[in-house]
A and B are shown apart, each in its own frame.
Chain A
Amino acid sequence: MNRRITRLCGQIGVVLLCALPAGLAMAASQVLVITGIGGEEMFDTRFSSWSQKVATASASVTGDPKRVVKLSGDGARREAVQAALKSAAETLRAGDQFVLVLLGHGTYDGSEYRFNLPGPDLTGSEMLALLDQIPTAVPQLVVNATSTSGAIAERWVRPHRVVITATKSGGERNAPKFGGFWADALTSTEADRDKDGSLTAQEAYDFANRKVTETFKSDAAIVTEHAHIGGTDPSRFVVARLGATAQFASDPQLIALRAEQGGIESQLAQLRPQKAQLTQDEYFDRIEPVLVELAKLGARIDARLTALGVNTGANADAAR
């Protein structure tokens, strides 16, 4: 369960809100995936594969594939990107969520970052201006997985905007691996650490960042990229859903069961602060009955999903 929602449940007991996993509680999102120019076949193939993965996984969050816009190749020229961002600014409303993913190469000349597109590039300042046109009531997540993206890491952050970059500075110029692992995270049950079937931006970032580190270690190579995350509460962004449960978000019985689940989770949330004061055994003795209740409820949710035609064995596996 998303930590922010858990906290809300614990504090104000908003039953309906707590009835659904974090992302479902939010209004439909819009995701824009832009793939810049690869420059050579190897990079074109790589970036294209990443963007396809990101777009497909993002549809699990928006609920509607049409709300995932993918720009690539000639369709990702400067004008097209500008138009897509302007359109987002015009159509998104308070309560919506916007996710922008940039894949490809970036450059930095010491003062200005550039996202490399077919034809003229877009500068970091230009992109920032476009992003700033989106209403501040719309939480934004920007994932800039290009080389030198660290140049904009802090500049693009706003109270309503979380910015993830593949590099920590404009000086990290090698084509980063981060984007590939970000794409992998969106379908990874390993990345979903709390096993709630909703992958948050924080979880995806942690997974991708860890994979980057492991890859360089395994290759015994000098680490040429260090990912960065800036802004507040990245866990509020659900970037992918795993498993089939999201398809049945409107089922009244499931909504009721989830409401009940939220109530039990709030009990758990109340116990957690005691963890530091108790011995491990005492803490476990206290949470066990709550977890058993939650487990029983889980079995009822599975039963309902089975009735809806979902293979709960597979679902359970997916929830791993």
Chain B
Amino acid sequence: MQHAEHSHRRSAWLRAAPVLALWLAIHAGQAAAVDIDYDARRSAALRRCDEPQHHGRVEEARDCYRPLLRDASSLVRAEAAFALGDLRTANDLFKVAVAEDPRGALQRVRWGRMYMEVGQSAEAAGLFQEALQIDPKDAGARLALVSLGVEQFEGDAVEETNKLLAEHANLVEAQLLASRLELERGRIEAATQAAQRALQLTQQQKHPPLEAQTLLAAIEVVRKRDPGEWTRAVLAYNPRYGKLFETLGRTEIMRRRYVEADGWLQQAVKVQPDLWSAQREVGLNLMRLGRIAEARPHLETAYEGDPFSATTVNTLTLLDSLAKFDVVKVATPAMNLQLHKTESATLGPYVEQLAAQAITTFSRRYGYQPSGPVTVEIYPDHDDFAVRTAGLPGIGLLGVTFGDLVAMDSPSGRKTGDFHWGSVLWHELAHVFTLSVTKNRVPRWLSEGLSVLEEWTTGPTPGVMVNPKVLDMFKEGKLLPVVGLDNGFMRPTYEGQVQISYDQAGLVCLFAEQRWGFPRLVEFLRAFNDESATTDSAVRSVFKVTPEDFDKEFQRFVRERFSKYLADPERLTALMRRAHSMLEARNWNAAREAAQAAIEVLPELTVEGNAYEVLAAAEEAAGKPDAAITALQSWRKAGGWNPDGLRKLAALLQAAKRNAEAAEVLVAVNYADPLAIDGHDRLGQLLLEQNRGADALREYRVLLALHPLDTAAANFGMARAYRQTGDNSRARRHLLESLDTAPNYRPAQKLLLEMTGDRK
């Protein structure tokens, strides 16, 4: 009953992010985990109450804050309400405080901090900006803005933190931010120094050491050492400081070590059961581990305490919707496929086939067998996928891997031709292996790079596809050195850098494979099994070169491979423009020449509007279908995959009576656009021609599951396929089903006579 009530209430808050503007207006009486305020301007009255709060003596602290609700200062009253968790009152009081002192920066900073606490980043940023307009030098406002940037993984947070520290070396929070950023970048020594400095400052300035010690504990975890010294110190200061273990858990999550994270997070909710963010994180992390049933109670608890967390609400709503999914268990290789009921019959066969092929391929290439089943979850609603992976809708990812679990978008949720679901699945399943082989220690860039390499070399769309933007960035010297490549993913400093980093990582792996061979690349990957390994050390030990020399060789590789493009990038644009305009003007010769020249400049360009398709169109129009086929086959070999182009190639091949090749191309269409009704019957017929009854059966099953209008033809196809596989009983049933719909359907009639031996 309670659950039903929650479900109903949650559904009212479905996709809660946009409605959080209402949060403060209605949220009252909930305990908020207020961060430590290191600002020297904090009033003495508040500091007196902070002291028991920071030691975990909650009731004593509340008794202390309560009288402050009647303080003469509206800012003190607001802070007291904030500390007591009465955010509605706090919000009203901060408003009053700002109105009373329109030129005051501190009020805005603290008000913004409250918004930041509850995850309303835009409102928080607005208030910090207002404070900076009033006083551009206000260190508190600058610090708050940087802190928000760090939360949101903004690339310039590092620079801003350094600037702040250069001007205000004694800011505890700035040192903590610096330590955190260094830790993320793998610079452990620098992280330690900053955290130690922060700890020293807390002692000097009489602030609680909790956050500094927590960071030092996290550093020990990253170092693979026992953080006991610091965790004991923290708990001695505040036995209820759940944020300690929550931080350790998050640190492990950042490193994709979800099992280890679970241990820490469970401790967090043990020492502080009302730390709702930790309860939520336990639930989310258990979901990453595929332990859905265990996740729910934690999320329910988080919801009880903080019913307006968008992440919690959305995740619980997603859990409710999992009843709409089928779970298909496959024995060999072991897989659990979770597909929406509306598309498990249509997508399932292709997912199973491709996932099995990927697992077999990667087991061989990486010399690793997954210990348990690999789970693949496919979401037709992108927002469900986004919630599944990050807790909030609106992210731009297509697939995510958590250990042995892959979650990804379904092709049904996106425009046809927008993404190649087969390649996404291939990419993500490669992560399962690169993560598992290294017990999740592989650096992000290498895991992504190997996944991209696998897409290019072994995946369903083999071919090195490179976006010219990557080469433009290379030319501008904006590609990162190999030891810093993770930053391109973690803290991008220019728009599009994450995507550029994917391609760069792929190219780095391609270079290494070509320079040293794939086995050495796998050896490089395995080097990260050593807990102390870094990209720097692994490059030196496996490739026997310095990272600087590695970078130089990589640059030479890129310069040579893409020399024609890099010599004059504008030429490609001009050639493409000419090829398209000549095609439009029906000047086939000129279109052909321009397209061929464009292909020569950058054969890796196979995206929409590519020169290969222009060339094929010109050749076909000029009456040269064989040349058109050659052009499209080259396009495909280079990585081209859009469904229209593939269908065109299949049609040309079929017209040229090259049916086996046409079938192979139509099979490939299924990894891009499996849910289109057109094509399954055609492919089924081609497969039957080649006596591939079992494959044809798959096509007709999918066709029937797509509920075609022409059920007579689909059932007739089923009948033929069953007959070819020797199942005459099922063949008869489908044949009669077909003829029941279309009694004078001549091909079906002929088969009926054949099957009944009645043809006369």
Contact = CB atoms under 8 A, between A and B. Distances in A.
Interface of A: 1, 190-191, 193-196, 206-207, 210, 214, 217-221, 261, 265, 268, 280-281, 284, 287-288, 291-292, 294-296, 298-299, 302, 312, 315-317, 319-320
B710 A261 contact: no
B759 A319 contact: no
A319 B747 contact: yes
A268 B750 contact: no
Interface stretch (B95-103, B414-422, B525-533): B414-422
B758 A193 contact: no
Given A195-B745, A195-B746, A319-B746, A296 B677 contact: no
A287 B736 contact: yes
Which 7 A-B pairs give the minimum distances between C-beta atoms? Answer: A295-B749, A195-B742, A195-B745, A220-B415, A316-B746, A218-B416, A284-B736
Given A220-B414, A287-B736, A291-B736, A299 B743 contact: no
22 contacts: A190-B710, A191-B710, A193-B711, A193-B741, A194-B712, A194-B741, A194-B743, A194-B745, A196-B744, A206-B709, A214-B676, A218-B416, A220-B418, A284-B733, A284-B736, A284-B737, A287-B739, A292-B753, A294-B743, A302-B746, A319-B745, A319-B746
Contacts of B744: 1, 194-196, 261, 294, 298, 319
Contacts of A316: 746-747, 750
A299 B709 contact: no
A317 B685 CA distance: 12
A270 to B, nearest CB: 13
B597 interface: no
A194 B748 CA distance: 12
A1 B741 CA distance: 10
Contacts of B732: 284
A312 B749 CA distance: 13
Contacts, number: 107
B709 A292 contact: no
B376 interface: no
Given A194-B712, A265-B743, A287-B736, A298 B749 contact: yes
B189 interface: no
Interface in B674-715: 676-677, 708-713
Contacts of B414: 220
B225 interface: no
B756 A292 contact: yes
A121 to B, nearest CB: 33
Contacts of B756: 288, 292
A187 to B, nearest CB: 14
A288 B751 CA distance: 13
Contacts of A195: 712, 742, 744-746, 748
Contact of B713 (A265, A299, A320): A320
A200 B676 CA distance: 25
Interface residues of B, number: 37
A219 B416 contact: yes
Nearest to A272: B740
B760 interface: yes
B752 interface: yes
Given A220-B418, A320-B713, A299 B749 contact: yes
A127 B322 CA distance: 53
Contacts of B753: 292, 295-296, 299
Nearest to A280: B733
Contacts of B759: 299
A291 B676 CA distance: 32
A312 B739 CA distance: 19
Given A319-B745, A319-B747, A291 B739 contact: yes
Count chain A CB atoms within 10 A of each CB in B743, B747, B753, B759 and give the residue with the most.
Answer: B743
Contacts of B415: 218-221
A62 to B, nearest CB: 23
Contact of A291 (B416, B673, B743, B760): B743
Given A284-B732, A319-B746, A319-B747, A193 B752 contact: no
A44 to B, nearest CB: 18
B409 to A, nearest CB: 11
Nearest to B733: A284
B740 to A, nearest CB: 6
A193 B712 contact: yes
Nearest to A220: B415
Given A219-B415, A319-B747, A196 B736 contact: no
Nearest to B754: A295
A1 B753 CA distance: 20
Contacts of A298: 744, 746, 749
Contacts of A284: 732-733, 736-737
Given A190-B710, A210-B709, A218-B416, A196 B758 contact: no
A197 B677 CA distance: 22
Contacts of A291: 736, 739-740, 743, 749, 752
B232 to A, nearest CB: 55
A195 B736 CA distance: 14
Contact of B736 (A191, A219, A288): A288
A287 B412 CA distance: 39
A191 B709 contact: yes
A225 to B, nearest CB: 18
A316 B713 CA distance: 12
Nearest to A268: B743
Count chain B CB atoms within 10 A of each CB in A194, A207, A280 and give the residue with the most.
Answer: A194
A176 B753 CA distance: 45
A320 B747 contact: yes
Given A218-B415, A218-B416, A287 B740 contact: yes
A193 B741 CA distance: 8
Nearest to B746: A316
A294 B749 contact: yes
B444 to A, nearest CB: 30
A175 B308 CA distance: 44
Count chain A CB atoms within 10 A of each CB in B712, B740, B753 and give the residue with the most.
Answer: B740
